[in-house]
Amino acid sequence: MRFTIKHEIRSRIRVHLQMKRMTFREADTMDYYLQGFPEICEAQVYERTADAVIRFDGDRARILEILKGFSFEGTNVPERIYESSGREASAGYRDRIIGSILVHCGKRLFLPLRIRLVWDGIKAVKYIWRGLRTIGNKRLQVELLDAVAISVAMLIGDYGTASNVMFLLGIGDTLEEWTHKRSVDDLARRMSLNVDQVWLLTDVGEILTDSSLVVCGDRVVVRMGNMIPFDGEVSEGEAMVNQASMTGESAAVRKCEGSVVFAGTVVEEGELTVTVTQVEGCGRFDKIVKMIEESEKLKSSLESRAERLADRLVPYTLAAAAATWLFSRDVMKAVSVLMVDYSCALKMAMPLSVLSAIREATEYGITVKGGRFLEAVADADTIIFDKTGTLTKARPTVKRVISFCEESGDELLRQAACLEEHFPHSVAREVVDAASDRGLLHDEMHTRAEYIVAHGIASHIDGKKVVIGSYHFVFEDERTIIPEDRRELFDSLPDAYSHLYFAKEGKLAAVILIEDPMRTECADVVTKLKEQGFARIVMMTGDSGRTAAAIAASAGIDEYYAEVLPEDKADYVEKAKADGRRVIMVGDGINDSPALSAADAGIAISEGAEIARQIADITISSEDLESIVVLKKLSTLLMKRIRFNYRTIVSFNSALILLGIAGILPPATSAMLHNSSTVALGLKSMTNLLPE
C-alpha cells in the first residue's frame, strides 16, 4: 500500500494513504490488520482523511514494512469484526451533533423571526408530547420538567430561551445516547463469541475443523460442557442446554431432534448434533448487545437506588418551581428551577460508570457480566478456590504412563487421548497434547463417550468397556480390579503426582502420572487478597487430603476441604451466605458449576470448561491469578466512583436550583450548566479507574 508520512515523533507515526477517504469497511479492515502485530501498541484509523496514527514499540523500519505490506484485498477479516464495528454509528452521531449546531446557529443568522418562531413552535410539540406521555403513564419524570419549562418560556414570549433549551436538550440526548451505545458496543465486542474449532460430522466420522470453514447445512457435534458455536436445528441427540446468555432463562432447557438452538448457549448435560442454519457473523453481536441493554444484572444496588431516587425527586422539583413562582411572582426564576433536575445526570453517569468499569476490566483479561457482580466482589469477605486448574497451573503435564497390562504405555496413552479429546478439562487437554507430542494418532476408535461429572469418562473400544477418571470412579463406582502380579507396582506409585486411572473390561490398564504444580503467583495473591479484606480464603478439591494439605500449606490457605463432590462445594457456599457472608467462588471445571452459580459472584478461569464460563458471572484470564487482585481493586474503586457521582450530582444541581431561585442564573444559563455538567460527569465516568 502506498502512503506518505504526515507527522512523526518517537514511537508514534501518522501516515496518509494515497486516497481521498476510506469507506467504513476499509477503515475497519486496516484497523484489524494493524492490531494484529505485536509491535503496534495502538492504532487509530480515520476514514474521512484516510489517515492512520500508530503508536509502536520497536523498530521504525519494521512499522514501515508492515504498512507497505498492507492491502485491502489481501487482508482476510472475520465478518464479526465488521458486524460489531461501531465506526459507522460513531460517525453518524458526530454528524448529528455538528448538524444540530450548524442548524441552530444558521437559523438565527439567516431566517426571519417569524419563520424561526414557527420552526421552534413545531419543535416544541415533540418535547411537550414527551412530557404529557409521562403523565399518561402515571409517572412524573424529567421529561415533564422539560415540557413545562419550554411551555412556560413560550407562553411568556421568551422564545430565545425556549429555543436554546430545546437545542441543549437535543445535544444532551444525542451525547447521552452516543456514550451509552459506545460503552455497550465496546463491551459486547469483547463478549462476542470466538470459537476457533468445532467437531464437524462427515461421512467418515467426526473431524476437528476450523469454525470459519463451516457453512450452513453442515452438522456439528456438541458434547456436555461445550458451547454451541452456531445457530441451528438439532438433527440428532438430546441434551439440557443453558440459554441464559441469549434468552435470560436461568434453568437449562431440554433440546431434542427438531429443536432450535442458539450460538453461545452451552450443553449442560447430554450430546447434540446440530445442523447449522447461521454461521459466524450472522446476528450474534446484536443478540449480545440486546442482552446487555436489557439485563438487570448490569445494575448494582447503588445504581438502582440512585435511579429510583432520580424519579422520586421530579415532583419535588415541580413543587419547588411552583413555590418559587408563588412567592416571587417571577416566571423566569421558576423556569430556572425547571431547567435543572437530578434525573439526567444520575441516569447517565451511573450506568456509564458501570459499563466503563466492565470495559476496563476486559483490558486486564477480565470479563464481567454486570455491575451487580462488581458490587458483590467489592463487598465480598469470603473467597473459595477450586484446586486443579485454578490454584494449580491450567496446563498440567503428563510425566509418565505406567502400563498394568500387555499393551505399551504409548498405546494406552493413545486410547486415553481418544476419549479425553471430547471433554473440557485441563487434565483432559494435557492427555491429548501429550499424545500429540509423541506423534500418537488417535482417530475415532470408540463408541459414544459418556462424561460423568467430577468422575470420568466411560465408553467402548473394540467392543470392550473402558473407563478413565478418578480413583473413586474407577475403583469404587466401576469396581475395577488391580492385576495381582501388578499390585506391588500399584502400591509404589509416586505420591508427588496426581493419578489418572484407565481401565478396560473391569481391570486396571494404566495409570497416567500428572504433574500439577501450584501457580508461582498463588501465595502472593492469597496474601494480597487478605490485605484487601477477605476474612476467609478457602480451598476445595476432589483430590486426596494429602495433596490438598500440601497445596494449601504452600499457598498460605488455612481452611481447605478435600475429596469433595460438586454438591459439597455448592452446599458450603449456601451455608456461608446463610451466615451473612458475601461469597466469591473461583473455579474452572464442570464440577465447579453448581458452586459458581450459588455464589454472590462466580469467577471462572478462561481456559476452563465452557459451561463454567457460561454460568460464571465473571471470567478471568488463566495466565495469572493476579487478575483477581485487580478485580477487587477495580470493584472497590467503582463503588467509590458511584458514591462520588451521587454526591456531586446532588450538590451541584441543588446549587443551580438555589441560584435560579435567587435570580442569579437565567433559565438558559441554568440549562447550559446543567447539561454541560451532566455530559462532563458522564465523560469522567468513562475514564479508567486504575492508574496506567
The CATH number for 40's domain is: 3.30.70.100
Please indicate, yes or no, if residue 292 is contained in any of the structural domains.
no
Selection from 195, 270, 589, 569 nearest residue 426 by Cα: 589
Q: What does the block give as the cell for 348?
A: 447517565
pLDDT of residue 287: 58
What's the average model confidence in pLDDT over 308-325?
Answer: 78
Please check whether residue 442 lies inside any domain of the structure: yes
Residue 631 lies in a domain: no
Q: Which residues contact 343 (CB under 8 A, 6 or more apart)?
A: 141, 142, 310, 311, 313, 314
- The verdict on pTM exceeding 0.85 is no
- pLDDT grade, residue 581 (50/70/90)? very high
DSSP one-letter code for 283: S
Q: What is the DSSP string of 186-213?
A: HHHHHHS----EEEEEETTEEEEEEGGG
* Cβ proximity of 399 and 599 under 8 Å: no
Q: Which three cell numbers stand for residue 416?
A: 486415553
Instruction: For the chain, give the mean pLDDT.
Output: 82
The mean per-residue pLDDT over the stretch 39-43 comes to 90
Looking at the fold, whether 274 and 310 belong to one and the same domain comes out as no
Looking at the structure, tell me whether residues 436 and 510 fall in a common domain.
yes
Indicate whether 510 and 524 sit together in one domain. no
Mapped onto helix, strand or coil, the DSSP state of residue 62 is helix
Confidence grade of residue 19 (pLDDT, cut at 50, 70, 90): very high
Instruction: Name the residue with cell 454461521.
Output: 279
Cβ-Cβ contacts under 8 Å for 334 (sequence gap 6 or more): 152, 321, 322, 324, 325, 328
Domain boundary among 620, 650, 668: 620
- Asked whether the CA dihedral 354, 356, 358, 364 is positive or negative, the reply is negative
- What 3-state class would DSSP assign to 55? strand
Computed on alpha carbons and rounded to an integer, the radius of gyration of the chain in Å comes to 31
Dist. CA 496–CA 494, nearest whole Å: 5
Higher pLDDT, 117 or 671: 117
DSSP letter for each residue of 507-545: EEEEEEEEE-PBPTTHHHHHHHHHHTT-SEEEEE-SS-H
**Residue corresponding to grid cell 480451598:** 539
Range(s) of the domain holding residue 246: 197-279
Asked if residue 406 and residue 380 are part of one domain, the reply reads no
The reply to whether 435 and 495 lie within a common domain is yes
- Residue 66 domain flag: yes
In eight-state DSSP terms, residue 663 is: T
Instruction: Look at residue 211 and tell me if it is in a domain.
Output: yes
Same domain, 406 and 500: yes
The reported pLDDT for the residue numbered 567 is: 81
Same domain, 215 and 176: no
Which band of pLDDT confidence, cut at 50, 70 and 90, is reported for residue 611?
low
The predicted-structure confidence for 55-76, as pLDDT tens digits, reads as follows 998 889 999 999 999 999 989 8
Contact assessment for residue 631 and residue 617, using Cβ atoms and an 8 Å cutoff:
no
Residues 323-336 have pLDDT tens digits of 888 888 887 788 77
Amino acid at 54: I
Q: Identify whether residues 146 and 69 lie together within a single domain.
A: no
Same domain, 180 and 313: yes
Q: Do 407 and 506 reside in the same domain of the chain?
A: yes
List the single range of 160-169, 309-318, 654-663 with lowest mean pLDDT.
309-318
CB 49 within 8 A of CB 16: yes
Domain boundary among 468, 496, 515: 515
CA nearest to 343, candidates 202, 505, 187, 140:
140
Reduced to 3 DSSP states, what percent helix, strand and coil does the chain have, rounded to the nearest 5? Answer: 50, 20, 25
Which of 24, 42, 77 terminates a domain? The answer is: 77
Location of C-alpha cell 448487545:
289
The answer on pLDDT for 691 being more than 90 is: no
More confident residue, 472 or 29: 29
- Residue 656 in contact with residue 320, Cβ under 8 Å? no
With a CB cutoff of 8 Å and minimum separation 6, the contacts of 647 are: none
- Domain count along the chain: 5
In this structure, the number of other CB atoms found within 10 A of the CB of residue 491 comes to 8
What values do phi and psi take at 426, rounded to 5? -60, -40
* 506 and 529 together in one domain: no
With pLDDT > 90 as the criterion, what percentage of the chain qualifies?
A: 25
What the block records as the C-alpha cell of 639 is 463503588
The pLDDT value recorded for residue 254 is 85
C-alpha cell belonging to residue 363? 483490558
DSSP assignment letter at 392: B
Considering the domain boundaries, does residue 70 fall inside one?
A: yes
Q: Between β-strands 260-261 and 231-242, what pairing exists: parallel, antiparallel or unpaired?
A: antiparallel
CATH number at residue 215: 2.70.150.10
The CATH number linked to 589 is 3.40.50.1000
> Is the same domain home to 422 and 455?
yes
* pLDDT tens-digit map of 217-255: 999 998 877 778 888 899 988 888 877 655 555 567 888
Q: Assess if residue 73 is contained within a domain.
A: yes
Model confidence pLDDT, tens digit, residues 149-188: 788 878 878 787 778 778 877 876 787 677 667 666 665 6
In sequence order, what are the residues at sequence separation of 6 or more whose Cβ sits closer than 8 angstroms to the Cβ of residue 73? none
Task: Evaluate whether residue 457 is within a structural domain.
Answer: yes
Query: Residue type at 416?
Result: A
pLDDT of residue 30: 95
